Structure 1
C-alpha cells in the first residue's frame, strides 16, 4: 500500500486508476498499485518509482508549471534498477549490477563517469550534488561544491563526474545522506561525519561555519547512531534505542523541539522519548518519523499544502500523529517513509502472521566485509579461482572492508575469537593464503600516514591476527611492512592506535608483543651467528613498535612484566662481540668493520631498555663506555695528567673538590687514583677504595648537603644554606663513579634515580624514604569518616610551604585529599629540592659524559651505583678460586670457618679490605672474582694477610692453627688501611 499527502498531485500518481484511490482524513490518500513498488523517492521536481526493475517518474507542479506531468517510463536499455533517489532537479538511479545513472530535469538518463566500474551499493542526492558508496567502501561525489558539500577540500570546483572523497578512505561506512547543500556519512560503529553548508547549524558542530571536508560530530559519539536523514537545512539522526536527535534550521518547527529556533548541536526530540522510533526522514521543511511497534507516523514542521497530514494548518513544532486509516494501521507495516519538498509518502506492505508479506524493499547495504562464510567459500573452491581472486583483491585491498570486518554486535570492537577461527581456516588453502599475502603487501604500501577517523586504524589491530599465523618468510615480510607503516603514522594518529592497543584483551596484546619480538630476536640471533651483515633499519622499526606497546602496558597498568619483552638473544650478540674483540686482541680492533657493526647494533638496542635484562644492559654499557673512551683517545693525545687523581687519605674530600674545581680533569678518560705516599698502581682497586672513602667523607661533611632520614636513606638537604656548587660536585662524583664502574657508599632512595630518568616519584617512594610520614598520608587516603578528616584540621601546607596559593586557608577534605597527597609528595621530592637537584643533575651528566646509562630502569640504575642490597655469603664461598692450595686444605677450611663466625659488620669489613668497597656488584658475588692464595713462608705467624684489591686476591700465610688465622685476619681488616694493599 502507498499512502500520500501534501500538495496537489495527479490522482493515483499514474500508478493506479483514480477510482481505486481511497480518500481518508486530512487529505491522506491510499492505494494498492497493481505492480508493487520496490522503491520510491520524492524531490523538488519529481517523484520516482521502481517497479520490477523499471523506473517511472512523475513531474511535480512548480511555480512555472501548474500542471503535473504524466507518469513517464524511462528507457534504460538493459539496466534493471534497484534504487532511485530524487534531488533538486533530477534523480540518481542505482542498477542491480552496481552501475549508477543520472537523470536530468528533462528525464534523460546517462551513465555516471568516474566510477571505473566500481560496484555502488548506496546513493544519495541533494539539491545540487549527489553521493555514492561503493561495495569496497569508497565514497564518490559529484555536482556543485559551493559550500563544500562534496568534501573535496576548500576551493575545489564542482564536478560532473564522480570524485573520490579520499579523506574517508578506510572508514567503514554504513550509510550516506545528502541534504540541500550538506552531506553526512555514518560509520559501522555509529560515528557521524558531516560536511558542507552549515548556515543554520545543520552539521551539528556547534557553529554556523561551512565545512569543506568530513568532520566528526563529536556530540553524537557514544549515541550509537544507526541512521541519518538530511533535509533542506536540517538533519535528523536515529539512535539504536529509537531516540531521535535533530539539529539545524528550526524556522518551520521541523526540529520538533517546541520552538522555531535553530539548533547548532544535536538535541533529543523530547516528545518522542520512549517511543522507540524505527525510521526518521527529513523533507525540505518538515520531518516524518515512524514507530514500528504502534504502526504510527508522526510529523512536525511546515504545515503548508497539508504535508504534515494532520489537518492542522499551522506550523507544528512538536511531533503530531498522522491520521492514517484504520486499515493501514492494522493490515500493513510501514517499510519506508519519503519526505519531499511539499509531499509525504508511506510505503507499506501487508502483514502475514508475524512477518511482512515482503521484506524491506531496499534495505541499506553496507560495505563488503571479510567474514567466516566468505573464507569458507574460498578455501573450499566452491567458486572459480578467477572469482575468488577478484573477491580477495576487493576485500584485502580495501582498508574500509578490513576495518569493518569481524566487529562485535556492538560494532565498537573486534570479535577476535571469530577472526582467529576465520584466519586459521584461511591458512588451510595455500593458494588462497599466497594471494591474500600478495594483496595485503600491496595494500600496506598505499596506506595513508594520516588516516581520517579512529575507525580507519582498525586494520592495524586486525592484520596482526592474520600475520602471526603465516609461515616465517611471509610473516616476517608483512611484519616489516606493517611496522614501517605504523611508524609513518602522524604522532596524533599513533596515539589513537595506542588507545586501541590499551583496550585489547591480554592474550591479543601478548600476541602483538610476540609478533614484533620474534623477528627482532631472529635478526639479533642471525647477527650473533654471523649470518647477517646488512642494514638493520627493520630491527630498529620492530624495537620502536615494541617500545610503543611497552609504554601502553605501563600506562594502562596491564598485567605484563619486563620478561614479556626481553630478547634473550641480546646475550648471544654480546658474547659474539666479546669473542670478536678477543680474536682481534693486539690489532686495532676498534676500527674494524665487524666490531663497529656489532657496536652499532648495541647503540640501537640501548634506546630500548625493556628489551634486555640487567646483566645484558650492564655489559652493553661497558662496551659503549669503552668505545667512547677509545674514540676520545683517538681524537686527543692521551695524557694521564688529565685523568689521574693524586689524593691524601686524610683529606680525600678536600683534595678531590680542589682538584675538580681546577677544571682540568678529562671525564672521558678512565679515572686513575694515586694515594700520596703509597706505591700502589690503580688497576681498579685503588679507585674503588677512593670512592668508598670519598662517600664516607661526604656523609661527615660539615656543609651537610645530605641529610639522613629515619630509614637510613639520604636525601638532599632542603634548607638552602649550601652553595650550588656543593650539589654540583656531589653530582659530578656520583657520575664519575657510574662512568668508572664503581659503587657509591650513599644510600639514596629510588626516587633519585627516577628523577634522573625523568620519571615522577610516588607515595611509595616517600614511604621508602620516610615510612612514618608516608603511612600518615596513606591513612589519610584510607579514612572513610568525614568527621575524622575534619578533626585532623589539615590544610594545604607542608613544613611552612604552601602547596597551592592560599594553602593555609584551604582544609583537606575527602574530595581533595588525593590532590593534597600528590602535592605533598611533589613538594618533598621536587619543589623543596628543585635547585639542589638541578645542580646535582648537571654535575651527574658532567661526571658521566655519555648518556647510555638511560637504558636502565630506576631499580637497575640504583643497583649499579649503590650495589646489590643482598649479601649472599655462601655465594662468595662458592665463587672463590684458589692458588697454591685447594678448598680441602686445612688453612682454607679454617678461613671459611672464621669468616662465617664473623658478624655482618666484620664480613663487610673483609669485603672492603679485599676489594676497596663493601658493596656487592649487580648480579651478586658471581660477578666479582675472589682468589685465595696460600703464602708458604718460614715465619707465617709473624705476617698479616695481604689483599691485592686490583685483582680480588687474598694472600694468606700458612698459619698453624685457626686461632692464629682468626687474630691475624681480624687485625688486618680492622686496622690495616695501607699496609699490603696493591
Structure 2
C-alpha cells in the first residue's frame, strides 16, 4: 500500500528518496523512483553498537550508539562544529535504545519511553512545534509522551514512529504524501506495524504477519523480572532502579500488560488493549513484597501530577485503567495516590473524559465493580475525615472543602453514570456511602444549605433512606427560612 507521489519501481536499500523492507508484507508512503540504487547516506533506524549516517549531501554527520546505551556524534571533513567524536552530553543520563537520522535532524528513543529529537526543524520534522527552525540540543517530543513506542525512523525532513500496538505517527515535510496522513501532522493512523524505515520523500511500514520480536525498545514488565523483585532481597538497588525506570514512565506502564492475544492491535476508544487479569496478577505478586510494593507506590504517586490533560492516542488512557488496580492496599499511600489519580482524570479535556468513560463502560463487569468499590472506599474515607473535622473545627469547615476531597466523589459519580448507561451491571448499593447520614444529622441545625448543596452534587452516594432524610431536611429548612434565603437555596 503506497501514499503520495509514486513511480513504478522496486524497493531498494534505504537511501535518499526511497525505503526498504526486510521480509514480510509492507506499506510504503511517499515518492519512489525506478532504478534508484545509489546514494550518500542511510536513514534506517539502528540499534546498539551501531552507527547511522545522516544523509546530508556531503555525508559529514553520523550518530554512534554504544552497547551501554550512550550516544555520540561525529562530524567528518574537519567540520568546525564537531571535528571529533563526542558524547552527546545532553543525553548523558539517558539509556538510549534506538537512533535515527534524516537529512539534517536526528531522533533518539530512550529505555524509559521518551523520544528526543534535534537538528533542523524547517518542516516541523522534530515534532516540537514550528516556532524555531533549528534546535541544536535534544528536545523531548511532548506530544508523544505516554505512548509506548516500538520503533522510530527519520526521513529527509520527516519523522515516523510506530507504537507497540501498531499505531503509526508521522510528522514533518509532506510534499509527496510521505506522512500517509494528508496534511495532518502529529496524528497517528493505526496500523499493525512492526518495522518502519524512511527515505527522503518516503516512509515504509512493515505490517505484522507473524510472531517476530520487536527491536530493542522501551522497558516493560516481564514475569521473570517481577519474580526477581519479589524473591531477590540481595539486589535491592538494582530492583529499585528497575522499578523507578518503569513506574516513573507513563509510556512504560502503557506498554505493559498488553493483551497477548494481539487484541491490543485493535486499541481504540472502545478497546484498551490491556489484559486486566495480568494487571491484577501483578498486583497480587508485588504486594507480597512490602519493600518492592512501597517503591512501586512511591513512583506512581510521583508520576500522577505529570499526566497530560490532552492525550492524543487511546494508548495514553491505559494508565488510567491500570493504576487503580495497583493501588488496592488499604493504606495512606494508596489512598493519597487514588486522590491524585482522581485529580489527574478530572484535568482531562472533555474529549478525553469521554474516551475514558467509554473504556470504563467496556471493562468486564468484575473489573468495573472493583473499580467502583475502590472509589467508593476512597470517597467513604474522605467523607469520614470530613465528618471528624466538622466535629473538631465546627461549621466553618463546610466552607473550605478542599477540591482534592471532592475528586474521588466526582469519579464515583462518573462511574455511576457509566453504570446507568450500560444497564446497571453493578448494583446501586455499591455506590452508597453510610457516612452521609451522620454529616446531615450533625449539620441539620447550622449551615445545612451548604451541606446539602455540596453533597447533592453526588446523588449516587445516597441510599433510599438518606434520600428521604435529605428531602425532609430540605423541607424543614425551607419552612423556617425567609423567602429570599429559600430562593437562594433553590438556585443552588
Task: Give the TM-score band, short-chain normalised.
Answer: 0.7 to 0.9
Is 1:86 equivalent to 2:53 in the alignment? Answer: yes
Give the aligned partner of residue 195 of structure 2. 227
> Cα offset for 1:613?
2.2
Quote the Cα distance in structure 1 between the aligned partners of 2:53 and 2:152: 15
In structure 2, runs of 5+ residues without a counterpart are 1-11, 14-36, 78-82, 268-272
Is 1:396 equivalent to 2:247 in the alignment? Answer: yes
Quote the Cα distance in structure 2 between the aligned partners of 1:531 and 1:116: 55
Secondary structure, aligned partner of 1:407: coil
List per-residue Cα deviations over 1:670-721 (Å, max 9, x = no partner): xxxxxxxxxxxxxxxxxxxxxxxxxxxxxxxxxxxxxxxxxxxxxxxxxxxx
Is 1:425 equivalent to 2:285 in the alignment? Answer: yes
TM-score (norm 2): 0.80
Quote the Cα distance in structure 2 between the aligned partners of 1:377 and 1:531: 48
Give the aligned partner of residue 406 of structure 1. 257
> Cα offset for 1:381?
2.6
Question: Are 1:123 and 1:132, in contact at CA under 8 Å, matched by a contact in 2?
Answer: yes
Aligned 1:87-236 pairs, distance under 5 A: 87-88=54-55, 89=59, 90-106=61-77, 108-207=84-183, 211=185, 214-217=186-189, 221=190, 223-236=191-204
List per-residue Cα deviations over 1:519-560 (Å, max 9, x = no partner): 222333445566665543334211111121122222333522
Question: Are 1:127 and 1:179, in contact at CA under 8 Å, matched by a contact in 2?
Answer: yes
Question: Are 1:114 and 1:161, in contact at CA under 8 Å, matched by a contact in 2?
Answer: yes
Quote the Cα distance in structure 2 between the aligned partners of 1:551 and 1:224: 34
Give the aligned partner of residue 221 of structure 2. 370
Quote the Cα distance in structure 1 between the aligned partners of 2:373 and 2:392: 22
Question: Are 2:43 and 2:198, in contact at CA under 8 Å, matched by a contact in 1?
Answer: no
Quote the Cα distance in structure 2 between the aligned partners of 1:109 and 1:477: 48
Question: Are 2:376 and 2:430, in contact at CA under 8 Å, matched by a contact in 1?
Answer: no
Q: Which structure has more RCO (C-alpha within 8 Å, separation ≥ 6)?
A: 2
Question: Are 1:526 and 1:532, in contact at CA under 8 Å, matched by a contact in 2?
Answer: no
Quote the Cα distance in structure 2 between the aligned partners of 1:553 and 1:559: 6
> Cα offset for 1:406?
0.9
Secondary structure, aligned partner of 1:114: helix
Quote the Cα distance in structure 2 between the aligned partners of 1:566 and 1:48: 59
Quote the Cα distance in structure 1 between the aligned partners of 2:391 and 2:108: 54
Is 1:45 equivalent to 2:40 in the alignment? Answer: yes
Aligned 1:581-620 pairs, distance under 5 A: 581=445, 595-596=446-447, 599-620=449-470
Quote the Cα distance in structure 2 between the aligned partners of 1:628 and 1:202: 68
Quote the Cα distance in structure 1 between the aligned partners of 2:334 and 2:354: 25
Quote the Cα distance in structure 2 between the aligned partners of 1:505 and 1:851: 40
Count of residues paired in the alignment = 433
List per-residue Cα deviations over 1:812-863 (Å, max 9, x = no partner): xxxxxxxxxxxxxxxxxxxxxxxxxxxxxxxxxxxx98267xxxxxxxxxxx
Quote the Cα distance in structure 1 between the aligned partners of 2:343 and 2:392: 20
Question: Are 1:144 and 1:157, in contact at CA under 8 Å, matched by a contact in 2?
Answer: yes
Rate the CA distance shift 1:515–1:81 in 2: closer, same or farther, 3 A: closer
List per-residue Cα deviations over 1:608-638 (Å, max 9, x = no partner): 22221233223213323443554536x68xx
Secondary structure, aligned partner of 2:182: coil
Is 1:381 equivalent to 2:232 in the alignment? Answer: yes
Quote the Cα distance in structure 2 between the aligned partners of 1:99 and 1:558: 54
Quote the Cα distance in structure 2 between the aligned partners of 1:505 and 1:120: 38
User: Which of 419, 428, 453 is the aligned partner of 1:562?
Assistant: 428
Question: Are 1:371 and 1:406, in contact at CA under 8 Å, matched by a contact in 2?
Answer: no
Is 1:548 equivalent to 2:410 in the alignment? Answer: no
> Cα offset for 1:368?
0.4
Quote the Cα distance in structure 1 between the aligned partners of 2:96 and 2:424: 44
Quote the Cα distance in structure 2 between the aligned partners of 1:519 and 1:186: 38
> Cα offset for 1:564?
2.5
Question: Are 1:43 and 1:86, in contact at CA under 8 Å, matched by a contact in 2?
Answer: no
TM-score (norm 1): 0.41
- Please list every run of at least 4 consecutive aligned residues from structure 1 whose deviation after the TM superposition is greater than 4 angstroms: 46-49, 526-535, 628-631
Say what the alpha-carbon RMSD is for the aligned residues.
3.1
Question: Are 1:83 and 1:93, in contact at CA under 8 Å, matched by a contact in 2?
Answer: yes
Rate the CA distance shift 1:416–1:571 in 2: closer, same or farther, 3 A: same
List per-residue Cα deviations over 1:2-50 (Å, max 9, x = no partner): xxx99xxxxxxxxxxxxxxxxxxxxxxxxxxxxxxxxxxx99435799x
Give the aligned partner of residue 771 of structure 1. none
Quote the Cα distance in structure 2 between the aligned partners of 1:93 and 1:552: 51
List per-residue Cα deviations over 1:371-412 (Å, max 9, x = no partner): 332222122235522222222221111111111111112234
User: Which of 413, 421, 439 is the aligned partner of 1:573?
Assistant: 439
User: Which of 341, 344, 355 is the aligned partner of 1:485?
Assistant: 344
**Larger radius of gyration, structure 1 or 2?**
1
In structure 1, runs of 5+ residues without a counterpart are 7-41, 50-54, 56-79, 243-275, 279-359, 582-594, 637-667, 670-847, 853-982
Quote the Cα distance in structure 2 between the aligned partners of 1:532 and 1:503: 43
List per-residue Cα deviations over 1:761-780 (Å, max 9, x = no partner): xxxxxxxxxxxxxxxxxxxx
Quote the Cα distance in structure 1 between the aligned partners of 2:149 and 2:68: 20
Is 1:438 equivalent to 2:308 in the alignment? Answer: no
Quote the Cα distance in structure 1 between the aligned partners of 2:154 and 2:169: 12
Quote the Cα distance in structure 2 between the aligned partners of 1:200 and 1:405: 36
